[in-house]
Structure 1
Amino acid sequence: MSAVRLLCSLVRPGQSRTLLSSWIAGDRPLRCASNTVADGEIYLAESCVRRLQEVTSGPEFLRLQVDSGGCSGFQYKFTLDTNMTEEDRAFGVDGAHVVVDLDSLQLVKGSTIEFCEELIRSSFQLTQNPQAEHGCSCGSSFSIKL
């Protein structure tokens, strides 16, 4: 499955509302400032883009967070959200938007988000995480490379 390379936007203090309003209005694409490339990038598989286009509207976006826990040490957490903070990085393509906080981004940069439909569940999943040493069999947790 091919991944779509995404552009990111640095959210600076006081600009989160402006950025989100412009994003909703569609009058300005999310662009990557040259000094934010070092923060990392996230890739969206076509399945993820299609599903986000179906389930989000207006200011909604998919938030990806990494929390401690799970069977491998860290776990991925996906939620729909409408609030951005100064610590967030926004990624978007074709109306599908993903937001990741800076701490989580360091643990998932270079990864691909897919939407997987299986008999037992349908969910967003993070795949091909270059920061992970190995993950659990269900794909919801991982251990980091040291």
Structure 2
Amino acid sequence: MIQPNFTVSPAALKFMRRMVRFSDTPTGGFRLKVAPGGCSGYSAEFSVEATPRDGDAEQSVEGLRMFLPAESRLLLDGVTIDHVDTPLQSGFTFANTKGGACGCSSSGDAVTPPAEASVTLSSIKRL
């Protein structure tokens, strides 16, 4: 089973831990489903689950149980997951150090900045 090599920022880890702690299943885990979304990044859905679903892999991040579906494990490899909470934006951001700023076309040998996407609270749906 593929275990992705990803980084979770302290802000994202704090948010995930709070979601689990204040849920109906505080001994459960944080399920993060990531899919390609838009030209430059990812879309994400999350929930707190008592146990992993069929096909999920459990990965521990500083003691937090994370449940990741197969496609999410592939997409998160090399990604930094962050959480921002400002007056203008609230939600996860994903910075992919392996990818370019846009996956729509190739720019040859040009150096591109890391890809980044964000998920706002209004776009999150309960699984």
TM-score by length of 2: 0.61
- Matched residue, 1:76: 43
Report the Cα distance in structure 1 between the residues aligned to 2:102 and 2:67, rounded to whole angstroms.
22
Percent identical among aligned pairs is: 15
- Matched residue, 2:60: 92
Report the Cα distance in structure 2 between the residues aligned to 1:122 and 1:138, rounded to whole angstroms.
15
Relative to its length, the structure with more helix (as a share) is 1
- Matched residue, 2:86: 118
Report the 3-state secondary structure (helix = DSSP H, G, I; strand = E; otherwise coil) of the residue aligned with 1:40: coil
Is 1:42–2:42 an aligned residue pair?
no
Contact 2:40 / 2:117 at 8 angstroms: preserved in 1?
no
- RMSD of aligned C-alpha atoms? 3.0
Report the Cα distance in structure 1 between the residues aligned to 2:17 and 2:28, rounded to whole angstroms.
10
Contact 2:40 / 2:116 at 8 angstroms: preserved in 1?
no
Report the Cα distance in structure 2 between the residues aligned to 1:40 and 1:129, rounded to whole angstroms.
14
Q: Which runs of 5+ in 2 are unaligned?
A: 104-114, 120-127
Report the Cα distance in structure 2 between the residues aligned to 1:96 and 1:81, rounded to whole angstroms.
11
Report the 3-state secondary structure (helix = DSSP H, G, I; strand = E; otherwise coil) of the residue aligned with 1:56: helix
Structure 1 residue 104: Cα displacement: 2.1
Structure 1 residue 47: Cα displacement: 1.1
Report the Cα distance in structure 1 between the residues aligned to 2:39 and 2:9, rounded to whole angstroms.
24
Aligned with 2:34 (options 47, 50, 66): 66
Report the 3-state secondary structure (helix = DSSP H, G, I; strand = E; otherwise coil) of the residue aligned with 1:50: helix
Structure 1 residue 64: Cα displacement: 2.2
Q: Which contiguous aligned blocks of 4+ residues in structure 1 show a shift greater than 3 angstroms?
A: 135-138
Report the Cα distance in structure 2 between the residues aligned to 1:138 and 1:129, rounded to whole angstroms.
9
How many pairs are equivalent?
103
Structure 1 residue 66: Cα displacement: 2.8
Q: 1:73 to 1:51 in 2, by over 3 A?
A: closer
Structure 1 residue 59: Cα displacement: 3.8
Q: Which runs of 5+ in 1 are unaligned?
A: 1-35, 142-146
Contact 2:31 / 2:68 at 8 angstroms: preserved in 1?
yes
Could you tell me which amino acid in structure 2 is paired with residue 112 of structure 1?
Answer: T
